[in-house]
């Protein structure tokens, strides 16, 4: 069984919104049909997006950290939005686990959006059907593209490689290794939806410097202690000889 998914590394996301715009660009001109905008240059613009980057402040000043948080459909392994659909327009593909909407069957009743705790689904005001991230299903299988390009558009666009893409059911895939070794977690685990997309937590980069690393470990003068210990500011042997 294959379950394609994104793994988003919050440790390196810089909140540049490149994934948001590349997603919109690809999908508005792709087979999904236009992702319409309403009032785009007016006072209150709105439109359909599959992917958003939000920003949260963690902690209290001055001990705060800014976390940029990309948010899209998580392609749950047990998607609550699928069984509630009265027409079968919402479905989860057996072959790769992608949750999709058939825009020709959707009646725009919005019930699936109520059944998604993550708010991943949006009604397209122009087409009046429910839309959401397709994991660029019209891209990842496109054999006319180079293999390196057969990835979701957001993954290709990310300048910091904060977005990994692959099969989380394959234990050797880069995403599985990242989840396993970097503490990958799922959002709102309390609902039992088993999201396929995972997030990697922020990690503190700390260097532990041991005492002997500060001392002149290479200074032979101190090894037998025959001569007075040179001060820390004294030149080392490397500084005074050419060997």
Strands 99-101 and 51-60: unpaired
Q: Looking only at residues 183 through 202 of this chain, which bind another protein when binding is defined by CB under 8 A?
A: 185-191, 199, 201-202
Does residue 176 sit in helix, strand or coil? Answer: helix
The DSSP secondary-structure symbol of 185 reads B
Residue 14 contacts another protein per CB under 8 A = no
The least distance separating another protein from the CB of residue 29, rounded to whole angstroms, comes to: 20
Q: Are 175 and 7 in contact (CB under 8 A)?
A: yes
Q: Are 20 and 53 in contact (CB under 8 A)?
A: yes
Residue from the set 14, 25, 29, 45 that interacts with another protein by CB under 8 A = 45
Separation of alpha carbons 215 and 91, rounded Å: 64
Residue 49 contacts another protein per CB under 8 A = yes
The least distance separating another protein from the CB of residue 165, rounded to whole angstroms, comes to: 19
Angle at CA of residue 124, ends 119 and 127, nearest 5°: 155
Whichever of 118 and 165 has its CB closer to another protein, that residue is 118
* x/- letters, 197..226, toward another protein (CB under 8 A): --x-xx------------------------
Instruction: Give me the residue label for tokens 């990310």.
Output: 158
The least distance separating another protein from the CB of residue 169, rounded to whole angstroms, comes to: 21
Instruction: Give me the residue label for tokens 């820390």.
Output: 232
Residue 12 contacts another protein per CB under 8 A = no
Q: Looking only at residues 113 through 132 of this chain, which bind another protein when binding is defined by CB under 8 A?
A: 113-119, 121-123, 125, 127-129
Residue 55 contacts another protein per CB under 8 A = yes
């Amino acid at each position: 069984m294959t379950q394609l998914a994104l793994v988003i590394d919050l440790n390196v996301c810089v909140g540049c919104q490149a994934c948001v715009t590349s997603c919109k660009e690809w999908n508005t001109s792709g087979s999904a049909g236009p992702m319409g905008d309403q009032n785009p240059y007016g006072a209150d613009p709105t439109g359909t997006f599959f992917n958003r980057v939000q920003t949260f402040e963690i902690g209290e000043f001055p001990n705060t950290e800014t976390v940029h948080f990309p948010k899209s459909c998580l392609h749950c392994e047990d998607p609550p939005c699928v069984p509630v659909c009265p027409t079968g327009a919402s479905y989860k593909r057996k072959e790769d686990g992608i949750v999709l909407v058939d825009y020709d069957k959707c009646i725009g009743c919005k019930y699936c959006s109520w059944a998604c705790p993550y708010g991943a689904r949006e009604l397209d005001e122009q087409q009046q059907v429910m839309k959401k991230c397709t994991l660029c299903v019209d891209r990842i299988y496109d054999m006319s593209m180079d293999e390196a390009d057969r990835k979701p558009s957001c993954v290709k666009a990310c300048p910091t490689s904060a977005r990994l893409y692959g099969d989380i059911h394959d234990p050797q895939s880069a995403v599985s290794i990242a989840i396993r070794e970097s503490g990958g977690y799922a959002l709102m685990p309390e609902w039992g939806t088993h999201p396929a997309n995972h997030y990697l937590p922020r990690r503190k980069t700390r260097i532990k410097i041991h005492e002997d690393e500060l001392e002149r470990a290479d200074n032979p003068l101190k090894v037998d202690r025959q001569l007075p210990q040179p001060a820390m500011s004294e030149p080392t042997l490397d500084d005074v000889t050419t060997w």
